[in-house]
Structure 1
């Protein structure tokens, strides 16, 4: 017993000598779990933020705003029931991106995160208009951020985008955590340039001088074929699959989204319900179960007998891996055609218009012969032709289609849409914006009041600066 006591005494004495003999002892990590890092990685933050793109491109409501779709039994969404839309989720995503930029030392990682930040913020300002921007995301340092004018937001986003494109190193490190573009920085550069081109054209009504400048800076660096279309990739997995498949099959099993009569009738054109003039309809919708022909569901009405109407193509609603598009080659070609028609470039507007239709037909699985035949029957008529064909080509691109439809309306050559008679949420027409969260006026009262004083009432039909 005495021997054991002596051994223990010598052991503890040795331990103390070891520690006291060191110049510095750091016990700071003694309770850290090596399997749960306390500092988030740039890759994990980017992957988390990229998930927000899914919620943006997969949204139902904007596809109803531009009348691609009609509701089935429940018609409230097509009558604009929802007035208030919360921004807090999106600011949470932007916080992740800002944190990623802060912790990363990889210029390509920072560039990709900044480009995604611009993409998401541009989507936000086209929905709400004025938003906290320069004072946003400062946490407790500024709990009541001012709302920036949309013009200032756009100018700031261009500055961010230009800085990001300028720091890209094609021979540098891959982008970690990037499952949209697989870490390929050259795709991020192309995406950023395409975004810049689209944003330039978005200014055609509000600030055409700056719009032309930014458009031409990006021209020649945007996507050049359908194989380069930008889309959100889904998986055959219930946690990461196409949301439209989830709506029609597990877990929702709700057959409530039909193709509208506005869209179906436009594409049937001079053809018939079983042989539409515009064969893109074969790739976009499916014949009604009852008749075996294309039948659009009346927009803004209850359409309970869903089998009497055409559903969205089964290639989307029954396919977990069906991609949803962010930007397409057809959209870019229509943008270039319009820019040429506006005198922004020296390109040939009619040639680009025809190429855009060809690209759209190809995107929706239709032959070049069908596209050529369609073009021959629909003579080019300047911006009016572009306005209509762009509306068709942006089918199912939700928020992007709604943004462009409002811009085209401001320019005076949109595809004419008529709102339902019995509207909700005090709407008076097809929505021009979405209202701030119902809590915005109480949580940030002074800034909220300043915003609506400058922009107009917090309503669906208050026009925002881009599209006034």
Structure 2
């Protein structure tokens, strides 16, 4: 027994001596997994951030705001049930882009990331209005960032965009981790210029002098055919497929989104439910199952007899790889037509209007001859023509369509839409913005209150600076 005690004492003393004498030993990477890098690569960070584009393009609610769609049995979304919308996910994606910029030494990588950052942040400010921007994403260095005015955000975004476009090296390295444009920096440059043009026109009501300047800086550098349309490239894979296919087929198996009576009736026009005046409807929707004709579902109501109504085209809701568009040639042509009307350029508004309709027809699978016949009945009569036709052409472009509809309304020539009579979330009409997250006031009280005082109530129908 005594001998065992001596042996144990010697053992513990040896262990103690080992730990006390080796406390400064460098164990190197003994606990590091060589197959899991601790420093994320620029490519992986960009790839992750690009996923936000799908979330933005595939959102259901803005397509209901502009009345392209109606709900099936559950009508709350078309009556504006959701008041508060969380910004955390979007700031998380912006943070990934900032980290990517920090770890990259490739100017083209940095330029692409910055352009993507501008695209996402512009989408955010058109949804919420004032947001943390200049003081955002500073972590513990600034836990309570101020909310910048929308004007300040726009000025900052133009500065970022111009800087990114200036650093592009056409003969330089490809963009790593880029699955939207396949690493092609020339596509990023064209996308950045198109984004700049769209943002410039967005200022037509709020700051037309700056809008005209920026518009003309981008003119001639943007996409010039449907072949160059910008879209999110989905895969036949459940991890990165078209979100609308996921809603209608696996894993959701819901039949809850129908084409609205507002949209269908406008495109049927002087034609009939079996032979609509606007042939684009054949590419945008399917005839109702029960009648074999185009029938729109009443907007803002419960429509449980879904087989009585037209669904979104099966080319989208039944296809994992159906693209969702970011910007299109038709949108660019309508922008140029409106800029000509405003006197920003020397181009001809009527010619561009007709070219835009033709591009939209071809985008939706119709022929130029069909477009010509439609134009013959729907010629250019002024900016109201652009307001209506742009609403049609932006079908299924969700947040982009909602932003442009509000801007065109502010300009006085947007296509008029009527909100349902029984609204939720204290809405008084079609939403003008989305409210901040429910926790925004408690997490950053002083800055939140300052924003509310400057911008107006945190409500769906507070009009933001761009569209006042």
Unaligned 5+ runs, structure 1: 1-24
**Which residue number in structure 2 is paired with residue 425 of structure 1?**
425
* Aligned-residue offset at 1:382: 1.1
Deviations 1:74-113 (A, max 9, x none): 0000000000000000000000000000000000000000
Provide the C-alpha distance between the structure 1 equivalents of 2:65 and 2:146, rounded to a whole number of angstroms. Answer: 29
Unaligned 5+ runs, structure 2: 1-24
- Is residue 186 of structure 2 the alignment partner of residue 183 of structure 1? no
**Which residue number in structure 2 is paired with residue 8 of structure 1?**
none
* Aligned-residue offset at 1:29: 2.8
Provide the C-alpha distance between the structure 1 equivalents of 2:163 and 2:426, rounded to a whole number of angstroms. Answer: 42
**Which residue number in structure 2 is paired with residue 4 of structure 1?**
none
**Which residue number in structure 1 is paired with residue 355 of structure 2?**
355
* Aligned-residue offset at 1:26: 6.1
1:232-381 matched pairs, under 5 angstroms? 232-381=232-381
**Which residue number in structure 2 is paired with residue 65 of structure 1?**
65
TM-score, normalised relative to structure 1: 0.94
- Is residue 206 of structure 2 the alignment partner of residue 212 of structure 1? no
- Is residue 368 of structure 2 the alignment partner of residue 388 of structure 1? no
1:70-219 matched pairs, under 5 angstroms? 70-219=70-219
For residue 286 of structure 1, give the secondary structure of its aligned residue in structure 2. coil
Deviations 1:378-409 (A, max 9, x none): 12111000000000000000000000000000
- Is residue 431 of structure 2 the alignment partner of residue 400 of structure 1? no
* Aligned-residue offset at 1:321: 0.2
For residue 408 of structure 2, give the secondary structure of its aligned residue in structure 1. helix
**Which residue number in structure 1 is paired with residue 415 of structure 2?**
415
For residue 325 of structure 2, give the secondary structure of its aligned residue in structure 1. strand
For residue 275 of structure 2, give the secondary structure of its aligned residue in structure 1. coil
Provide the C-alpha distance between the structure 2 equivalents of 1:399 and 1:61, rounded to a whole number of angstroms. Answer: 9
Deviations 1:302-336 (A, max 9, x none): 00100000000000000000000000000000000
Provide the C-alpha distance between the structure 1 equivalents of 2:455 and 2:271, rounded to a whole number of angstroms. Answer: 45
Provide the C-alpha distance between the structure 2 equivalents of 1:29 and 1:342, rounded to a whole number of angstroms. Answer: 64
Provide the C-alpha distance between the structure 2 equivalents of 1:379 and 1:227, rounded to a whole number of angstroms. Answer: 26
**Which residue number in structure 2 is paired with residue 6 of structure 1?**
none
Provide the C-alpha distance between the structure 2 equivalents of 1:408 and 1:27, rounded to a whole number of angstroms. Answer: 65
For residue 311 of structure 1, give the secondary structure of its aligned residue in structure 2. coil
For residue 301 of structure 1, give the secondary structure of its aligned residue in structure 2. coil
Deviations 1:146-177 (A, max 9, x none): 00000000000000000000000000000000
Provide the C-alpha distance between the structure 1 equivalents of 2:76 and 2:65, rounded to a whole number of angstroms. Answer: 12
Provide the C-alpha distance between the structure 1 equivalents of 2:148 and 2:433, rounded to a whole number of angstroms. Answer: 16
Provide the C-alpha distance between the structure 2 equivalents of 1:424 and 1:373, rounded to a whole number of angstroms. Answer: 42
Q: How many residues align?
A: 445
For residue 231 of structure 2, give the secondary structure of its aligned residue in structure 1. strand
TM-score, normalised relative to structure 2: 0.94
Deviations 1:213-246 (A, max 9, x none): 0000000000010000000010011111100000
- The runs of 4+ residues in structure 1 deviating greater than 6 Å are none
* Aligned-residue offset at 1:33: 1.2
Provide the C-alpha distance between the structure 2 equivalents of 1:322 and 1:94, rounded to a whole number of angstroms. Answer: 26
CA RMSD of aligned residues (A): 0.9
